[in-house]
Amino acid sequence: MKSIGARLALWYASAATVTLACLFVAGYYLLEGYLIHGLDLLNQSEFAQIRAHLGPDYRDLSPAVINQRIRETTNFASVLFYIDIRTRGHGTIFYSNNLHGRSLPDLRGKSRYLIRLPDVGLLRVGEFPLPPYEVILATSETQVDGVMEGYSEVCVALLVLMLGMSTAIGFGLSRVALRPVRLIRETASRIGSDNLSERIPVPAVQDEIADLAQLLNAMFERLEDSFRNVRRFAADASHELKTPLSLARLHAEKLLANGTLSADNEEEILTLLEDLSRLNGTIDELLFLSRAEARSITLQLAPHDPATVLASFNADAEVLAEHRGLVFSFTHEGTGRAICEPRWLRRVLLNLLSNAVNASPPGGRIELRSVIDREFWRMSIEDEGPGVPETERAHIFDRFVRLRSASGPDHEGTGLGLAICRGIIDLHRGRIHVESGHGGRGLRVVFEIPAADPSYTGA
């Protein structure tokens, strides 16, 4: 069973039901003993009555008189009592009628006992000395059996009820008791590398759960510190690299400007300058990613009309695609405005277009679809290239991930393009993912950002 709540409820229900069952069993024996003791008292009071009726001079009475006196006393109680009076040596001198001539068995050494008589059933017997006689009185135990049977039935019904009720109460209690644990789970599952500052609410009562919440919070504190240090390191390292890189570029440009280099050397310096500029670009991108992850970039977010945002990009995309022998098409549906900063969105679109262009086969088609509704502005760029295997799709937004199969031989990317796209879309509070293109061919990159509330009239 996976849920602790369910387990606690069942343990609680089992413990409560077993405890009640034990009490019922103890109650059974106590009640039975009490009822049998009641039968003994009945026998005893009947004996007292017989003795009183025989009178103090009973020793001098003839057996016939004794028989008559006892019969006078006991006739009316013949339903309740079985009576057998005997003398040592002479045997029984009196049987009650309900014994039909049979004597009550005498168990040696016992004065109170249970016996079973054929046709009569279970009897509680008491032996009382009345020298020179011995009076043996018995009462039927059937009533006690009936009561005990009823008791057992009531107990079983109560146990079933107890099991049902305690399971329901157990579930209720476990839900209440585990509420702080659920709260911890919900908060902990929300905490990720992008919102490490969130903390688990610590319950007011200082118990084990509060300790656990504090422990987890302390762990998140340490994690946040480590993440901050890693990001700061990436940002600092990128920043520190920029100055020597600029100096190297200045020196190279100076060498070129001097005009004293041979044609070969000049060629080498030009290649060096190209590499330096690519390195500079990579450092800029890393710096951007570090700052985006640390949320230290503030976008100028405002409502914009998608058609206007896309107009200049579409013109550039058409030219770029045509230059590479590809066909670019564009559709837009819906009206409304989206919350964005257009220059950053343009950067996302250019990155995605460059990937699509690199992946497309000659003459391939690249399609940009844009739809805006009340909630989101959704865009997708689809190409007819080799696509990305499903197992790789989760990773291609990570830094420096390049899949050899997809990149054309003339394309040497750094693997930062999609990471930057995701950074920018995150800053717009949007989402981005990839899926297969139309008919399972190519790749479709889909992203969406929130649309503006139609009642918003600000800039």
Per CB under 5 A, residues contacting Mg ion are 355, 413, 417
Q: For 59-141, where are the alpha helices, taking DSSP H only?
A: 63-74
Smallest gap from Cβ 397 to Mg ion, in A, equals: 11
Structure tokens at 357: 């262009």
Q: Cβ of residue 314: shortest distance to ligand ATP, in angstroms? A: 18
Q: What are the two backbone dihedrals, phi and then psi, of residue 280, each rounded to the nearest 5 degrees?
A: -60, -40
Q: Closest residue to Mg ion, Cβ-based?
A: 417
Closest separation between CB of residue 406 and ligand ATP, Å? Answer: 3
- The separation between CA 241 and the C-alpha centre of its own chain, rounded to angstroms, equals 48
Give 134-153 as a DSSP string: EEEEEEE-HHHHHHHHHHHH
When CB distances are held under 5 to 8 angstroms depending on the partner's kind, the choice from ligand ATP, Mg ion, none that residue 155 binds is none
Q: For 190, list phi and psi in degrees, rounded to 5.
A: -80, -25
Cβ 281 to Mg ion, closest distance in Å? 12
Q: Which is nearer to ligand ATP, 340 or 421 (CB)?
A: 421
Q: Which is nearer to ligand ATP, 290 or 355 (CB)?
A: 355
Give dist(CA 211, CA 234) in Å, integer.
35
AA letter at 9: A
End-to-end CA distance of the chain: 56
Instruction: Closer to ligand ATP by CB, 67 or 354: give it.
Output: 354
Distance CA 151, CA 145 (A): 10
Binding-site partner at residue 403 among ligand ATP, Mg ion, none, CB < 5 to 8 Å by type: ligand ATP
For residue 412, the minimal CB distance to ligand ATP (Å) is 8
Distances (CA, A) of 27 to 22, 30, 112, 306: 8, 5, 22, 81
Our CB check for Mg ion shows the closer of 88 and 323 to be: 323
Cβ proximity to ligand ATP: between 199 and 402 the closer is 402
Shortest reach from residue 349's CB to ligand ATP, in Å? 13
Q: Which does 367 bind (CB under 5 to 8 A by kind): Mg ion, ligand ATP, none?
A: none
Measure the CA–CA gap between 273 and 271, rounded to whole angstroms.
5
Q: By the 8 A CB rule, do 421 and 432 touch?
A: yes
Partner from Mg ion, ligand ATP, none contacting 286, C-beta within 5 to 8 A by type: none
- Is residue 407 a contact partner of residue 396, using CB atoms and an 8 Å limit? no
The site partner of 443 among ligand ATP, Mg ion, none (C-beta below 5 to 8 Å per kind) is ligand ATP
Q: Which is nearer to ligand ATP, 336 or 415 (CB)?
A: 415
Q: Which of 39, 326 has the CB closer to ligand ATP?
A: 326
User: From the list ligand ATP, Mg ion, none, which binds 401 (C-beta under 5 to 8 Å, kind-based)?
Assistant: ligand ATP
We find the least distance from the C-beta atom of residue 422 to ligand ATP, in angstroms, to be: 9
* Per-residue CA distances from 48 to 72, 129, 209 (Å): 15, 11, 70
Question: Cβ 411 to Mg ion, closest distance in Å?
Answer: 8
Q: How far is the CB of 267 from ligand ATP (least distance, A)?
A: 25
Beta strand pairing status for 327-333 and 365-372?
parallel
In the complex, what is the shortest distance from the CB of residue 389 to ligand ATP, in angstroms, rounded to a whole number? 10
Q: Which residues bind ligand ATP (CB under 6 A)?
A: 351, 355-356, 359, 383, 385-388, 396, 401-403, 406-407, 413-419, 443
Nearer of residues 102 and 402 to ligand ATP, judged by Cβ: 402
Q: Which two tokens stand for residue 394?
A: 């989760």
| 430 vs 442, beta carbon nearer ligand ATP | 442
Q: Which tokens sit at 435?
A: 């899926």
- Pick between residue 415 and residue 450 the one whose CB is nearest to ligand ATP: 415
Q: Which of Mg ion, ligand ATP, none binds 39 (CB below 5-8 Å, type-dependent)?
A: none
Pair type for strands 338-340 and 376-382: unpaired
Q: Which does 42 bind (CB under 5 to 8 A by kind): ligand ATP, Mg ion, none?
A: none
Residue 385 interface partner, choices ligand ATP, Mg ion, none, CB cut-off 5-8 Å depending on type: ligand ATP
What is the C-alpha separation between 124 and 141, in angstroms, rounded? 6
Asked if 443 and 383 touch (Cβ cutoff 8 Å), the reply is: yes
439: helix, strand or coil: helix
Pick from 162, 169, 160, 170: nearest CA to 7: 170
CA–CA dist 162, 139 (Å, integer): 37
Please report how the helices 417-427 and 263-293 are oriented relative to each other, as an axis angle in degrees rounded to 10. 30
